[in-house]
Every structure is written in C-alpha cells, then in structure tokens.
A and B are shown apart, each in its own frame.
Chain A
Amino acid sequence: DGGITQSPKYLFRKEGQNVTLSCEQNLNHDAMYWYRQDPGQGLRLIYYSQIVNDFQKGDIAEGYSVSREKKESFPLTVTSAQKNPTAFYLCASSIRLEQFFGPGTRLTVL
C-alpha cells in the first residue's frame, strides 16, 4: 500500500524543547513538502525539497529545520526558536503535478 505516513499523530512538548516530526513516503516521489496549518487558516509552506540532499525555505521557515538524506524521508524539526509552534503540521509529496498529503501531526506546546 503506497502512501505517506506521519508520526506521531499528536505531540505535546514543553516550551523550549526541540521536537522532530517524522514524514515517510513509499510513493517514490522526488518532491516533498512541509506545511503548517493554524485553526481556520490555509496551509503555509515551511520547507520543500525537490531531490535528495537539497531543500529550500518556504514562506515561514524561521524556527524550523529539515533534512533530506533519503528519498523517502523528510523529517521536520521544530526548534525552540519557533515562537508559536502549536499547529497542525502536514507533510506532502509529489512527482509531477498533484500533491499527496499525509494524515498530519498535531503539535501542542504546553
């Protein structure tokens, strides 16, 4: 079964801690993306990667970091520098046109 998996589904962290969100795909897609969604808002692009070992900042990259060491994996680290990290985080991948989304991780900072 091909798809995108994100883990964990719910994540709680204390203020000041770094946390890494996992995103894995077995669709053999080259491009991968991370979005942030706040309540009642659209999706905002954090980082994206077209190929392995390469990634670009999106519109709201401050306080986040990523790596792309393998084609199927694109983890996102939310650092303590991110001032308001509580949000729904969505990972997506694409090979040509449409983007396919994972189920998301809901991060809450306590």
Chain B
Amino acid sequence: QQPVQSPQAVILREGEDAVINCSSSKALYSVHWYRQKHGEAPVFLMILLKGGEQMRHEKISASFNEKKQQSSLYLTASQLSYSGTYFCGTEWVRANAGGTSYGKLTFGQGTILTVHP
C-alpha cells in the first residue's frame, strides 16, 4: 500500500521553512527521500533506518518515528534550488538473495515544493 504524503503542495518564499510528512499503514524498515526536478530523474537525498538517527543533508533534515510509522522531511531556510517534487519511498521488508541486500521501495504520490524569490 502506497505511503501517504502531506501536504500535496507547498509554496514558500526564499528563506522560509517547510515540513513534508510521509505516513505508512505498515511497519517500516526504512524511509528514503528523493527530490525530482521536472522532466528529470529523482535524486537521492537521504535514508532513515529503523532504529537509526535523524539524518541531515545540508539544510535538509529528516526524522523517522517508528511508533507512528511516519517520517518527516524538514527544509530549513529554503533556497530556490529546493523547488521540485519530493518523494518518500518506504521499505517494508528487507530481503536477501545470495548475500546481497536490496530494497523494494513503494513511493508516495509526491509533494510539490515551489520556492519563490
């Protein structure tokens, strides 16, 4: 089942903050965050693992609440380059085949972030 992202869209002025949430109905092993510019491939931002620490990428940080089965992405002092669609990908089962771990991700519908000057 697809994780639910909220809000669906956010409009900011440069320097403002935003929070994007990703909620799952199933227990999570990990949450992956990606940003996609229009017409381009998604770019990896960070991963949060069950039992792991809050992660940070420049002025973007994220948390993982295992109890609530939810992850939040925090964008601080937003820049124009932050504009794009943010996706969370959730991993429910960590499977192994021949000693190699891989993640089967289910993505949310995306949150469109627009930053204006």
The residues of A with any CB-CB pair to B shorter than 8 Å are: 30-31, 35, 40-45, 48, 50-51, 54, 58-59, 90, 94-104
Q: Is the CB of B2 within 8 A of A42?
A: yes
Give the contacting residue for B105; candidates A45, A50, A100, A104; CB below 8 A.
A45
**Which chain B residues border A43 with CB–CB below 8 Å?**
42, 87, 89, 105, 107
Q: Is the CB of B104 within 8 A of A42?
A: no
Q: Is the CB of A102 within 8 A of B44?
A: no
The residues of B with any CB-CB pair to A shorter than 8 Å are: 2, 30, 32, 40-44, 47, 87, 89, 95, 97-98, 100-110
Q: Is the CB of A44 within 8 A of B98?
A: no
Complex CA–CA separation, A102 to B43 (angstroms): 10
**Which chain B residues border A31 with CB–CB below 8 Å?**
100, 102-103
Give the contacting residue for A51; candidates B97, B104, B106, B108; CB below 8 A.
B97
Complex CA–CA separation, A78 to B103 (angstroms): 24
Give the contacting residue for A48; candidates B41, B89, B104; CB below 8 A.
B104
Q: Is the CB of B47 within 8 A of A51?
A: no
Q: Is the CB of B97 within 8 A of A94?
A: no
Q: A48-B102, A50-B100 given; name 5 further pairs at CB < 8 Å.
A: A31-B103, A35-B107, A94-B103, A101-B41, A101-B43
Complex CA–CA separation, A31 to B32 (angstroms): 16
Min distance, Cβ A1 to any Cβ of chain B, angstroms: 16
Q: Is the CB of B110 within 8 A of A41?
A: yes
Q: Is the CB of B104 within 8 A of A41?
A: no
Give the contacting residue for B102; candidates A30, A41, A102, A104; CB below 8 A.
A30
Complex CA–CA separation, A101 to B106 (angstroms): 15
Q: Is the CB of A96 within 8 A of B104?
A: no
**Which chain B residues border A94 with CB–CB below 8 Å?**
102-103
Complex CA–CA separation, A94 to B44 (angstroms): 11
